[in-house]
Amino acid sequence: MNLGKVVGTVVSTRKEPVLDGIRFLLVRLVDTDGKETPSFVVAADAMGAGPGEMVLTAAGSSARQTTMTDKKPVDNVIMAIVDTWEVNGETKYTK
Amino acid sequence: MNLGKVVGTVVSTRKEPVLDGIRFLLVRLVDTDGKETPSFVVAADAMGAGPGEMVLTAAGSSARQTTMTDKKPVDNVIMAIVDTWEVNGETKYTK
Amino acid sequence: MNLGKVVGTVVSTRKEPVLDGIRFLLVRLVDTDGKETPSFVVAADAMGAGPGEMVLTAAGSSARQTTMTDKKPVDNVIMAIVDTWEVNGETKYTK
Amino acid sequence: MNLGKVVGTVVSTRKEPVLDGIRFLLVRLVDTDGKETPSFVVAADAMGAGPGEMVLTAAGSSARQTTMTDKKPVDNVIMAIVDTWEVNGETKYTK
Amino acid sequence: MNLGKVVGTVVSTRKEPVLDGIRFLLVRLVDTDGKETPSFVVAADAMGAGPGEMVLTAAGSSARQTTMTDKKPVDNVIMAIVDTWEVNGETKYTK
């Protein structure tokens, strides 16, 4: 999984019909200190994530293993909202 | 999903027979400001996307989760045309 | 899909038995102008592609969606030979 | 598979229900000498790995081929704890 | 597929039980001239490859399309040992 921060929303009205009702969020990947990197993905939001929240995203066929994304053309999903993480015993982020 | 801009078309007459009728578009990936990057993919067009349009593409097995691409040797598909997106509350693109 | 140029052949006699008869080609990825990049893949040739031809390759499980590669340990396939492509209305390559 | 070192833990209470009970570890990728690189993944821990341990991780759909991760939105799993490795006959790491 | 050179072995006793008996090799990727690059993968050895041999590796779900790796948490497999390859008509490697 990737660790990222929700920074925006992508809106699309013309899309595959099965995608109706799915919210697409812009998630900027962060490093282990929580600093934003230039990399980002657009992920389906299975969690109701809000702007600024740190999340975990799953890619590829694993992105379709939620009720919301099952059998849909979606290759990235937010499957968890992060409370906290630590590296070498040091807390790097707390919600 | 990746965020990209339709910049061209790839034409092929000699191809796997199941690919007949599928349009292949050149999609240049963009950054969160909408600026073109050097990266690009060739994607099957499930949406009837036109030149210059901003689109979302899905990769891998997720690219086969549309009626047009089902069970076909296609690893990238345009599954949505983007109307608008915002980053940190600021609109970065509007169609 | 990736856009690439067939530049060579890889020969192997000791391989998974199901791979017998499959030709493995060296495909160097090109940029949108058709210029060769340092990146390359080894792809199963489902099309009878010849040296110097521009091709499209599909990766991952999508590489197994041809009769030749079905259920085989192959993660890259040439599924189309390119006739021509254009970028922003300008023809960049013609066979 | 990737070779990595367990350096931290990611905690999430709001997540896909099927992920309850799965521990998510921060795994920093290492080079063949065992030196840490800037790259990292968040992986489901199928092995009970501890901090500082060298592990192997499997990505993509292969990450779901364990009892713990089967059919779940998980794209990276720790499937082995490394005892030792050698490169060109020289031991580079021993637990 | 990737073209690589077997440079080492990874030993693990604590691992997913289904992985018992599978040998994990360190494969350093090479460029089209056969020169080693800094990139490497750890691959399951379906071929009985020896140190210094040039091999082809398949990644992702394709890595599970061998009898040895079927339904196992393995995302990279050596599925062929290379005899020779040529680029633009010039032999770059012969075993």
**Domain total for chain C?**
1
Q: Is B80 an 8 Å CB contact of chain C?
A: no
Chain D residue with CA closest to A68: the answer is D16
CB within 8 Å: B83 and A26? no
Nearest-5° Cα angle at A21, A16 to A24? 80
pLDDT reported for residue E82: 98
Distance CA C90, CA C32 (A): 11
CB within 8 Å: E14 and D46? no
Whether ipTM tops 0.90, in short, is: yes
CB within 8 Å: E75 and D63? yes
Instruction: List, for residues B13-33, the tens digit of each pLDDT value.
Output: 999 999 999 999 999 999 999
What's the average model confidence in pLDDT over E46-52? 96
Distance from CA of C79 to the nearest CA of B (A): 6
Chain E residue with CA closest to C20: the answer is E80
Distance CA B26, CA D90 (A): 47
Distance CA E14, CA E22 (A): 13
Least CB–CB distance from D87: residue in E7, E12, E38: E7
Least CB–CB distance from E73: residue in D66, D83, D92: D66
pLDDT reported for residue D37: 98
Q: Which residues, in sequence order, are CB contacts of E71 under 8 Å at separation 6+?
A: D65, E18, E64
Task: Name the residue range of residue D6's domain.
Answer: 2-94
pLDDT bucket at E93, cuts 50 / 70 / 90: very high
Distance from CA of E22 to the nearest CA of C (A): 16
What's the average model confidence in pLDDT over C29-39? 98
Distance CA B14, CA C78 (A): 11
**Alpha-carbon Rg of chain A, whole angstroms?**
14
pLDDT reported for residue D94: 98
Taking contacts as CB-CB distances below 8 angstroms, the residues of chain D near A2 are 41-42
Q: Considering the entire predicted model, what is its pTM?
A: 0.97
Q: Is B61 helix (H, G, I), strand (E, B) or coil?
A: helix
Q: Is E6 an 8 Å CB contact of chain C?
A: no
According to DSSP, residue E20 is labeled T
Chain D residue with CA closest to E16: the answer is D79
A75: CATH: 2.40.50.220
Structure-token pair, residue C58? 């599909």
Q: Are D26 and D45 in contact (CB under 8 A)?
A: no
